[in-house]
Every structure is written in C-alpha cells, then in structure tokens.
Amino acid sequence: METAAAGARRPPALRLLCPKKSVLSSPFPSLLWLVGSPRFLHPVTVAAALRCLRFLSDDGPFSPDLPHEADEIRGLLVRGFDIVGGLFLGSANFESDAGRALELAGELRERLFGERASHGMVGGCVDASTGDIRFLVSESEGSEVVEGQEVLWGDEPGRSLLEKGCLLRCELQLQLPLYLPSDETMSGIEARFSSLIESAAANLRGPHVSYLVEGPTATFDESHHSVILHGNNLNSVSQLPINPNTNKCSAKIVSCSEFLPTKRHDLSSIRENADAIQITVLSNQSFNISKAASPVPMLKYFPAPAPASLRVIDLKLDILCYSSMDLPVTVAVSELVIPGLADQLSIMKKAIVSELLTQQPQLCPYHLVPPGLLIPLTAIYDTRYGEIEEKQSELRRNLHFRLGLPLDRPLLRTSNALTFGAMERRDRSSSKSSSLLRDVHKEIPSSGVSGGIMSLIDGSYEYYHYLHDGIDDNGWGCAYRSLQTIMSWYRLQQYSSINVPSHREIQQVLVEIGDKDPSFIGSREWIGAIELSFVLDKLLGASCKIINVRSGDELPEKCRELAIHFETQGTPVMIGGGVLAYTLLGVDYNEASGDCAFLILDPHYTGADDLKKIVNGGWCAWKKSVDSKGRSFFLKDKFYNLLLPQRPNMV
C-alpha cells in the first residue's frame, strides 16, 4: 500500500516568485543561479535569479568559474537565502543540460557554505524558441532525481515573502590591532592578519559577547520588546523545547514575530519602509568565567614583538538576515546573524589583505532592493574615492549584469540603499527630500482612449507649481516650475545630488553661460524649451532633444515619437507654446485609430498641496487635443516646442 502511494506521488512543482522577465529576458545562451530560502519557504521555491558572470573556457555557461562565482555571490546573499538550483537558457538537450545545471548548483552551494546542500535542489532548461521551462528536482543529497511537473509563477510575491519571514539586521564596528614586525615577510603579515580575523570571528560566540535583540522603533500604540542573549550560550540552540502550556517569555523560545509591529510592509515596498529586528553586539569584558558571586575586572597584556609597528584595522560590519516569523530568536542569532558576521569578516579580509601595507580600503556594506528584485542583497563598496571612481563604477556595472538590471540608470548607488527604522527615515527625509507631492498622476482616472497603449514616465518626480517656496511667480513662472519638476526627477532617480534650483539660480545659470544679460537676474521674464535645455546641460550634463510643432493641431502627430521617448528614456517632457508651459508625463495612443491623450501636469496650479483637490480640479489629468465638446487644449494658432530630456547612460 505504501509502495503504491509512493508511486502515485505527484512530481514536484517549481514555484518562481521572481518576475518572469528576470528569467526569460536574460541573453541566450546563459546560466542563472536560482536563489530561494528552503529553510523558511516551500521547497523548490525560487525568490531571485542571478546571472553567472565568470567562466573558465569557451564552453560559456557550461563551464562556470565556481571559485570566483562563490566569492562574489557570498557577499551578495543575505543569510537565510540559499542557492537552490541552476537554470540554462538556450538549452539543446534537456536531460543532460538540466542534470548539469543541478550538478553545478550543488557545487556552487558547497563552495558558499562549506557543505553539500541537505535541502532540495533544482536544475532546469529554458527553450530558446518557446520560453518553456523544464526542470529536474533532487529532494536531498543522494536522493532520486525526478522531472518536475509544472512551473508556477507567484501571485503577489513580495507579500508572500513577508508573510513567511522577516529581516534581522546587525551592525558592528571593530578595531583590530595588527602588529607588524619590521623583518616580517608579506606572507607572514598576511598570516597574522588572517589569524586576527579568525580570532575575531571565533569571539562572536565567546563568553564576553552578548547580543541585544530589539524590535523596530516602537509606535505609540505598540510595545517595544527586547532580550539579551549571551555568546557562550549560542553554540547548540537548534532544537529548543517549546512548552505550549506556559506564556513565559524565555529568551530561548521567544520567536522573531514577538519583535515586529502588528502593521508591517510587504517586501515589495521595502525600499521605502525597511523594518528589521535590530541586533546590537555588546562586549562584557568583566564577565567572570568561573561564575563567582561578583564580576572580577580583568587586565590583558599582549606583548608586541620588537621592533614592530602597530596598524589598527577599522572594520564596519553590517549584515541582514532573512528568517521565518516563528523561528526562535536565539536560533536566528546563532545560525543566521553570527555566521553572517563571520562571512562578512572573511569577505573584508580578502579585500584588505592586498593593501595591508598601503592605504587601507574603507569598506562599507549597503543593503539594496533594486526594482525588479524581491529580496535584499548586500553590496560592499570601497568608499575611499567616491562613487564616480572607475573601479566603483565597474563594480556596480558587474552587479547590474548579474542582477539583470539596465545599464543606463543608477540603481545600486549608496543613495539607493535601504534605511531602517522610523528615526532613520525621518533623518533621510529631512536631508534628501521635501514636503512636495510626488507622483500625483498615479491617482488620476483613465484617459478614455479606447484600445490605446499607455507610455508613462519611468520613476518618481515632485510636483512644482505656482507660489511654491514663497515665490509669487503667478503668470510668468510656469516654465521654471516645469524645469524644477524635471530636475526633481533626475535627483530622485539618483542621477544628481544637487538641490532643485530656485528661479533666481536658474536665471544665474543662463547669465553665466552668456544666454542672458545680467539684468535678467531677478526679473519676471519668461523662459522656454531652449533655455531649459541650457540649464539641464550646465547643471546636470544632461542632453535634450527638441521637437518643433507649428500648431497645436499637429501635436497628436507626435504621439508615436513621444511614446518611444517614454518607453526608452522615461523622463518628464516640457511642452512650451505661446505664453504657457506644461509638463508631460505620458501619452495614451491607439496607433490604428490615431486616438490619443496627453498626461498633463499643470504648473499653473496656485492652491495648497492637496492631492484630492489637484486631481479633481484637473491639474494633473489626461487631456485630448480636442475634447468631446470640441474644445482644443492645444491652440491652433500657436507653435509648440517639446523638450525631451535624455536619460544619462550611467550606473
């Protein structure tokens, strides 16, 4: 009977939470590493796909350089996520290629964690012509390999991830004393440094180290929970008894869910709301190992070999971990946080060891969730020379390749990093943002174009309009306001860190480049598309394309060109005609019928920043060239210039 039941067992299904395009848009042929969380999610669930970048020979995807791949991926992966498989794109032979992908994924996983996977692994192939995925599954090391049944794409994957788990974050500043004898060889210095790092990692479980576990900053209606865990009690905590008949909150059995607020954000919105359980490492140097009644102060003396010089190695560790909600926090610290800190120490050791006798790298970890990715990743940057330094740019470019991100926009800069806790978000908001409304077009009704295809702005912007900033520019400042909205787009997409310029600063730029006389500063003189292009070039180095239209009647003829702009560049467009200027955020265009509508953000609004009032009043709305009552939005007897700012090609 048991044999019959086993024989009738359905083949496993492959669940992909990552967006379909992140898998199928990769170049053919190629190899993807599949990332999941087999400890906390359903087996054979994929949360992200990473491209393999390092290869040994001309065989390409079939011969990856696993040591280099492991070194790079080890720093990226957040503890709690794991390699669960490999996927060949552009496969010719399913049986052999899927088996090879399964084998390679197992080898990579072993290099990452020092042991073969005890969880299920998957190897698959994507047909280059159809995009169909076939896969093999091994439920554990040495188990039978079977072909999977179906591929399931996740519904609301960000929410699914958070319902299953949560984030833990631990920061640790270390100053490690490294004594360098004058006659020491380079290999001896490297050995000393390695021993120092290994000792620091071992001390994470020592008797003098404790871990303060706290929830995110408490709100007025929620309690703030915390416990302290001692390092020497964190060696064997995987199997902890839980007594269902008691409500006592033991540090050993309290789950991660106890530290989190009732109202939580799904991982798809983590870029704005990153809540994590905070882990603080405490040092208790007066801890008495002999368990005497009172602590005994201790003094340690470390004689340095003479003659020798002292070099202090400054390290800033910052790790994230992903855990299930019901995992005991003691287990989470022991099996996720401490190994994560040790891993980051090892990664930093490799980056520092070659420069021990020169200028020490200033390594700083940043946690990022770029668009299209559902899980956080960690990038360790050397901040000595800033983000425009060539080596840093090359590192970000490689990360863009690995994550399948576009190469014409900065998605992995330090300003894109997550912030944690309400206080940090307030600090960031006050220094990098403002009280201006953002993305007001997301609340407006549909355009009314039947069968049209919408092409919209890509990214966030701030709504600048008349009377902002205490400046009475009613009747003359609409183009200035459109320029400010465009500038805010570049700033919010991290292409620039300069402040959005005021009217006077815009005028000063035009005087400095020789376009206007000095008397222009402080005036109420209008500007148009040409002047805007000069300012964008001067302040941002951004180029612009300008379309000239002789009459408002001709603007619908430019819809196809505008649609291409929004699909490829995604920047706001300024429309200037006669005495009026508008900001264009998108078009809805039916190519067959020619019917179209323009998504207009009107800078002539003079009221308060009330989103409902702005939307209901039509200050941000779809406008047709001629509405249902025969009224023309764009004037027939006026020419129009359209300014199309270009997206800088940079990472």
DSSP string, 440-501: GGGGS-----TT-EEEE--S--B---TTGGG---TTT-HHHHHHHHHHHHHHHTTS--SPPP
Name the nearest CA neighbour of 442 among 427, 429, 452, 457.
457
pLDDT at 292 (0 to 100): 44
Q: Is the pLDDT of residue 298 over 70?
A: no
Average pLDDT of the residues in 403-424: 80
Task: Compute how many other C-beta atoms are within 10 angstroms of the C-beta atom of residue 166.
Answer: 26
pLDDT at 434 (0 to 100): 57
- Residue 447 sits in the same domain as residue 580: yes
Question: pTM for the complete prediction?
Answer: 0.80
d(CA 123, CA 121): 7
188 assigned to some structural domain = yes
- Residue 352 sits in the same domain as residue 470: no
- Residue 450 sits in the same domain as residue 549: yes
If one compares 248 and 454, the residue with the highest pLDDT of the two is 454
- Residue 121 sits in the same domain as residue 220: no
Q: Among 96, 131, 155, identify where a domain stops.
A: 155
- Number of domains into which the chain is organized: 3
Q: Among 128, 155, 182, identify where a domain stops.
A: 155
Residue position matching structure tokens 């200035």 = 480
289 assigned to some structural domain = no
Return the active site residues.
478, 602, 604
Distances (CA, A) of 406 to 41, 190, 400, 564, 651: 29, 39, 7, 17, 9
Q: Is the pLDDT of residue 243 over 70?
A: no
The answer to whether 465 and 475 have CB atoms below 8 angstroms apart is no
- Residue 458 sits in the same domain as residue 358: no
d(CA 605, CA 395): 44
433 assigned to some structural domain = no
- Residue 144 sits in the same domain as residue 48: yes
The answer to whether 214 and 258 have CB atoms below 8 angstroms apart is no
- Residue 127 sits in the same domain as residue 206: no
- Residue 185 sits in the same domain as residue 119: no
597 assigned to some structural domain = yes
43 assigned to some structural domain = yes
Name the nearest CA neighbour of 520 among 530, 531, 529, 510.
510
- Residue 565 sits in the same domain as residue 446: yes
If one compares 36 and 385, the residue with the highest pLDDT of the two is 36
- Residue 329 sits in the same domain as residue 351: yes
Q: pLDDT tens digit string along 313-370?
A: 999 999 999 999 889 999 999 999 999 999 999 999 998 988 887 778 899 999 999 8
If one compares 630 and 106, the residue with the highest pLDDT of the two is 106
Length of the chain: 651
Range of the domain at 362: 165-237+254-284+305-416
d(CA 190, CA 194): 6
- Read off the amino acid at residue 77: L
Q: Is the pLDDT of residue 281 over 80?
A: yes
423 assigned to some structural domain = no
3-state helix vs strand vs coil in the chain, percent to 5: 30, 25, 45
430 assigned to some structural domain = no
Tell me, what CATH number does 110's domain have? 3.40.140
Tell me, what CATH number does 481's domain have? 3.90.70.130
The answer to whether 640 and 565 have CB atoms below 8 angstroms apart is no
Q: pLDDT tens digit string along 155-190?
A: 666 666 767 788 999 999 999 998 888 788 888 888
5 assigned to some structural domain = no
- Residue 136 sits in the same domain as residue 197: no
- Residue 140 sits in the same domain as residue 209: no
DSSP annotation of 412 = S
- Packing angle of the helix pair 503-512, 478-492 (nearest 10 deg): 90
